[in-house]
């Protein structure tokens, strides 16, 4: 038994070697594995069930916004990619091509779906009555330049949702750009217990072909930011490129406005890094596929009575929670404790002969390992309280870390110190692309995360070039 436990355990500490720790947590918890082709990954049932819960949650959001799910082809003609030059250039190095041509034309595997979707939109949209057109798809995309896989964070193929909407007016379009970003922030906070920074990207970081990009950014314990979702205002750029137009109420031809937005399985990686510890996964109760595991403490000669009570408990709790009963007799309770800690199950229930005599069980929360004796009559209520408290507690812990990591600085020397300390510098910035390149180069890799607010005081100078600052911007290193 001891050897099995050692094989399953995490062999490095999170604070000492986070990349290796993170990889071990993903692999040993059963979340994922590396694929047979370099740069690919396999999402195992535990990891995929978390993705399904994210999908279930966001599909409800889509319905509230009257966005419909659909599916578009994986294969994209090269001519489609060339229609929007800036967009095509932005993905040029990432595109994977099919070896065989179709009618003399090269075929790409989608790096994103603007082109194939907007070609269809140009056929579907004819009148103002066809608008707004709001479609989302859950699919895979391929970014072939990736070779070094970071499970969930970076791979050649990954899963995501991408919404692509078309509107009559710029105001409608812009409103929903920000509405979706708010929904992304809400999903991260309420489901994954991840706090984020939210705002518009700088010009340098704007999505190729869009008017502007908005983003939510999480901050990982190793001092690097992680982009968790983006929402883009495309203006009329893609509509012009793909000949999307309609007749308005006055029978005049108009060009519509568009936005696009998406998040990916990267959210799972953000959750793992933010909450997990040296024992393995820590899953927020609202996202955990199994919220409670029941482990009977089996004593020789009393096994049947203990198992009977454990099964009664499972049946009772299954009405309200996702529950698993571990009836295996070949493993000790201690070994099972370690296994479910590795898998991140939020709440463990221990029940043995002494507990049965006292008409109680012992609850153990995954995040703090605190043991609580609970009378069976008040068990349901206590479980709800502990799960709610755990969800709240791990969010507040992450929020405290994010808030503590933000340092407002206006001098370059202070900026460098903040970045070296693996924190976030909130600093005035001129907005110039070349200046941002210089900041990244001179600071050892710190890039802009998002704009917090505009600066209207001309006396405030840019952190680097000392020209008048336009924005107050979050800077940090990133994944």
Per-residue confidence (pLDDT) for residue 8, from 0 to 100: 63
Helix (H, G, I), strand (E, B) or coil at 361: strand
Per-residue confidence (pLDDT) for residue 3, from 0 to 100: 41
- Spatial separation of the C-alpha atoms in residues 118 and 68, rounded to whole Å: 16
**CATH class of residue range 292-385:** alpha beta
All structural domains of the chain with their residue ranges: 9-275, 292-385, 406-476
Per-residue confidence (pLDDT) for residue 5, from 0 to 100: 41
- Spatial separation of the C-alpha atoms in residues 236 and 140, rounded to whole Å: 26
CATH number listed for the domain at residues 9-275? 3.30.930.10
Helix (H, G, I), strand (E, B) or coil at 251: coil
Per-residue confidence (pLDDT) for residue 99, from 0 to 100: 92
- Spatial separation of the C-alpha atoms in residues 472 and 430, rounded to whole Å: 9
* CATH architecture for segment(s) 406-476: 2-Layer Sandwich (3.30)
DSSP string spanning 134-170?
Answer: EEEEEEEEE-TT--S-BTTTB-SEEEEEEEEEEESSH
Q: Are 197 and 472 in contact (CB under 8 A)?
A: no
Element containing residue 77 per DSSP (H, E): strand 75-77
Element containing residue 292 per DSSP (H, E): strand 292-296
Helix (H, G, I), strand (E, B) or coil at 303: helix
Query: Which two three-digit tokens encode residue 167?
Result: 């509107």
Tokens 């939510």 sit on residue: 216
Q: Are 278 and 22 in contact (CB under 8 A)?
A: no
Per-residue confidence (pLDDT) for residue 7, from 0 to 100: 54
Model pTM score: 0.95
Q: Which residues of 439-454 are buried (b: 16+ CB within 10 A; e: fewer)?
A: bbeebeebbbbbbbee
pLDDT in tens, the chain (479 residues): 334 444 569 999 999 999 999 999 999 999 999 999 999 999 999 999 999 999 999 999 999 999 999 999 999 999 999 887 777 677 777 899 999 999 999 999 999 999 999 999 999 999 999 999 999 999 999 999 888 889 999 999 999 999 999 999 999 999 999 999 999 999 999 999 999 999 999 999 999 999 999 999 999 999 999 999 999 999 999 999 999 999 999 999 999 999 999 999 999 999 999 999 999 999 999 999 999 999 999 888 888 899 999 999 999 999 999 999 999 999 999 999 999 999 999 999 999 999 999 999 999 999 999 999 999 999 999 999 999 999 999 999 999 999 999 999 999 999 999 999 999 999 999 999 999 999 999 999 999 999 999 999 999 999 999 999 999 999 999 99
């Amino acid at each position: 038994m001891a050897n099995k436990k050692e094989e399953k355990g995490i062999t490095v500490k999170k604070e000492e070697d986070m990349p290796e720790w993170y990889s071990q947590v993903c692999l040993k918890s059963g979340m994922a594995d590396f694929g047979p082709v370099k740069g690919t990954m396999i999402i195992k049932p535990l990891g995929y069930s978390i993705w399904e819960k994210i999908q279930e949650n966001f599909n409800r959001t889509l319905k509230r916004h009257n966005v419909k799910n659909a599916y578009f082809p994986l294969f994209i003609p090269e001519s489609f990619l060339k229609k929007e030059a800036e967009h095509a250039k932005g993905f040029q190095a990432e595109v994977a091509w099919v070896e065989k041509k179709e009618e003399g034309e090269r075929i790409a595997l989608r790096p994103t779906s603007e082109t194939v979707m907007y070609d269809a939109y140009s056929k579907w949209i004819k009148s103002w009555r066809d608008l707004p057109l709001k479609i989302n798809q859950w699919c895979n995309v391929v970014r072939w330049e990736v070779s070094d896989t970071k499970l969930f964070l970076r791979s050649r193929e990954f899963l995501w949702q991408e919404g692509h909407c078309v509107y009559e007016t710029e105001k409608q379009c812009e409103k929903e750009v920000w509405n979706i970003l708010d929904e992304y922030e809400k999903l991260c906070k309420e489901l994954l217990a991840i706090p984020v920074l939210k705002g518009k990207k700088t010009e340098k970081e704007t999505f190729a072909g869009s008017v502007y990009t908005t983003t939510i950014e999480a901050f990982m314990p190793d001092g690097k930011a992680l982009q968790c979702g983006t929402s883009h205002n495309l203006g009329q750029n893609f509509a012009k490129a793909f000949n999307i137009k309609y007749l308005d109420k006055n029978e005049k031809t108009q060009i519509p406005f568009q936005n696009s937005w998406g998040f990916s399985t990267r959210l799972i990686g953000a959750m793992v890094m933010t909450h997990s510890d040296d024992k393995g996964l820590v899953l927020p109760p609202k996202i955990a596929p199994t919220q409670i595991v029941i482990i009977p403490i089996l004593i020789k000669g009393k096994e049947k009575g203990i198992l009977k009570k454990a099964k009664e408990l499972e049946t009772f709790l299954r009405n309200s929670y996702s529950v698993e009963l571990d009836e295996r007799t070949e493993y000790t309770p201690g070994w099972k404790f370690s296994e479910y800690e590795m898998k991140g199950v939020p709440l463990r229930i221990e029940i043995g002969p002494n507990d049965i005599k006292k008409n109680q069980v012992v609850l153990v929360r995954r995040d703090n390992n605190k043991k609580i004796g609970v009378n069976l009559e008040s068990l349901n209520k206590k479980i709800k309280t502990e799960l709610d408290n755990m969800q709240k507690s791990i969010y507040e812990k992450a929020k405290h870390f994010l808030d503590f990591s933000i340092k407002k600085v206006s001098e370059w020397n202070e900026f460098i110190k903040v970045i070296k300390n693996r924190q976030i510098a909130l600093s005035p910035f001129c907005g110039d692309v070349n200046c941002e390149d210089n900041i990244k180069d001179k600071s050892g890799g710190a890039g802009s995360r998002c704009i917090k607010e505009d600066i209207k005081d001309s006396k405030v100078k840019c952190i680097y070039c000392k020209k008048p600052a336009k924005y107050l911007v979050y800077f940090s290193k990133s994944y």
